[in-house]
Structure 1
Amino acid sequence: MAARELNFDGLVGPTHNYSGLSYGNVASEENVMAISNPKEAAKQGLKKMKALQEMGFKQGVLAPHHRPNIDVLRRLGFTGSDEKVLSDVNRASPVLLAAVSSASCMWTANAVTVSPSADTLDQRVHFTAANLNAKFHRSIEHELTSNIMKASFSDARYFAHHDALPSVSQFGDEGAANHTRFCADYGSEGVEFFVYGRRAFEEAAPKPNKYPARQTLEASEAIARLHHLPGERVVYAQQKPSTIDAGVFHNDVISVGNGNVLFYHEEAFSETERVLSELDRKLKGATLNPIKVSSGDVTVDEAVRSYLFNSQLLTKSDGSMMLVVPSECKEVESVTAYLDQLVASGGPIDQIEMFDLKQSMRNGGGPACLRLRVVLTENEQAAVNPNIMMSDHLFITLNQWVDKHYRDRLTTDDLADSTLLRESETALDELTQILKLGSVYPFQK
């Protein structure tokens, strides 16, 4: 049965702010305390979603989380009314308040890992919520992420949902940001590529020195087991430790794959030749087409500054591929030159599309961070909640919803304002009705 890849983008939440919470994410640290614009951020994301939908790609929307997360603060000992909780935590620990107010769930590439039914032994699509335990502000996401996923992909005949792995460092899991699937076509058996930063149970194994390695081999192996992936359909690779220390906190900041194409920087992996050989050997019905970017063309630092690899690599209706990149790519001369050369080379990537995602980019999230890729057959597509799929009507409705509920200026001081909490709850309650998600938020119970 025909299958295709769908992209589900995270809708930016009303508390989008720059608190610099993500150590190892250079952009996040550089923009700490800057004034954010949640309204502009949400509209930039919606504009990208709609543009891709108009180009013929299937595009869906995933709801943001409830923030500030008062329930977490109560679990940490803060008591009284919501207003008192916010006031007390702001006085005791503004950093903690910023953490429970983060809109980081917008980067749905970290939300879950997804394996399509063509790869799994039970022929269902498997979803495992990422524990994201490397960062407190993200470690509180997975329960609600699971609720939203189950509301979006609810039919148990086609979809299997798994709880997050144990929230300990040995099983640190960052979701699809470290996972890629290669295939001859979307409906055929593929090979799933898991990239990790360290081996948790081998102290002497190579690992970065400056920044933490967020994904472990042990987590990747556990997800492969949960998803019923046979060994011949899986390849594991270690991200180069020195590259993590250069600010490449996830694999999707240094490589991107689609179909039989791997677009990667030469400093991406520790054992590049072994990785390429194994991927090619396990790929059924096609030959791997690796496109290597050398340091002589684009340095790792330039790749991080431009987010060249944090791009969406999409297959067009004619079989050629389009690379969706952030507008920051045109601000780095070497990257601009490389992209011109790439399109002119006659290879599979013959089109570049740039989008202004500055509000997200200032926190270190480009086009690839904002979207979750899900390969579905026709029957599986029909089982997805239709109200989350992008259309002319939904685009207009969501823009009107953003205009009605979102602020156009937000500082970290505003996070203690209980009015912002009520604004967010009102907005999200209305959103669940627009998307017909049911009562997924704790405040709706």
Structure 2
Amino acid sequence: MVAGGRELIAAALATLGLILFLNLLPAERCETIPMVIDSAGSRPLAVGSESPSSFGPVSSSPYGDGEPMPPPPPRSDEHAAVSPRSSYRPAPKLMAVGIITAPTHFDRRLWIRQKLRVSDARRRGIRVLFVLGVRNRMTPAQRLAIRHEENAHGDVVFVGARDWVPHAVAEKSLAWWEHAAAHLPGYRWYMKTDDDSLAHLPRLEMDLALMSSMGRSHYYYGVMTWRAWTPFHTEADAACGERGDDGPSLDGPSARLERLMLDRRPGGACSRAVGPFPFADGSLQILSDDLMRAFVESPLARNFSRSHLSRQGPPYWTHEDAGVGYLIFHSAILQTLPLTYVVLSPWKHNKFWINWFPRHNPSLPDEHVVNTHKVVTSMMAQIAQDAYENSTYAADPFVCVDCAKTWGWRGGFETSVGRFPIERVACCNKRTDA
């Protein structure tokens, strides 16, 4: 017993000596990472990381037609103070990405996080967020699952839109731009896509750098086609004239554009409309910060949002991408904006779906592609990601052309709401022959 007691006393003295030795080490040799607790007290975070807001808009019962739950508190996008001894510096805010999703699409959000490598993207200044409507009818099980998902990833935002109506994608898309303007300040670019698309962020970052080097402003980027729209129409979808996939091209004007311009003349089918104007397909849209704010914060867009997001019965607004293109075009008229249209080529830069045929040479993402649409299974997501990573991005250059001579955009500038400032506009394409 005496021998055993001596061994215990010796071990205790050795431990005490080790503690004293560690406490005497210089501070720079035993520096620890400072920690803070988020406002909800849910988990510790390293200083310099963003503090997630407490999970707000989850109801204890499905929403009916009564009062909607108030929107969640704004998520702080500011970095916490950095310790003077820390070498960590937050990445510049490059782009905020809003991915329109549905409450039940847990699997899609899972593989999108994996394929986009959202943690790595965050270190490069890209914030990826999944967008749901605050007015929803989730079941208790769905609400609980979303709560766990938010606690685990901190990347779910609820915007002021309905999430159960057939036109929910249109409402959530417009509400995403509004949310970004109100709660995500400081980013240079803002992107909207859907959870059935898979973009390649490093390739998009190269395109953002190319656009920044152009020395212009008010950028509008995506695969585009032509449309006309009647302002302040009683119908929810006020698009007018033909629509097709033959958008602004280096190959010259399309016959459809010529017909739209004819329809816009006095006495034509679209004489009361504005346009024709280019608008980006909803599977991939990127706006520069100045353009996003110019259209979202305008009285025109606020009136449009109040009118359509509060409709209690059909017909509902469903033409999300054409409606956003109209709001940008109309805002340019009212504010004389120097728009910079940056047009991708369909199928060349954006695959609308993966084509498995012909089997010996399927149409998969190659060195020109930045986005693939209709990715709805984990297998398709893996195939698209493998194709991205096994080809070196060509970074096809942008070329700006004469809007009238090359695009054939020669009319429709005089409207009932003012004149479109075509002389201030840049018409640019991502080349396909590079």
**Greater RCO structure (CA 8 Å; 6+ sep):** 1
TM interval, short-chain normalised:
under 0.3
Q: TM-score, normalised by structure 2?
A: 0.26
| Richer in helix (by share) | 1
**Larger Rg over CA atoms:** 2
TM-score relative to the length of structure 1 = 0.25
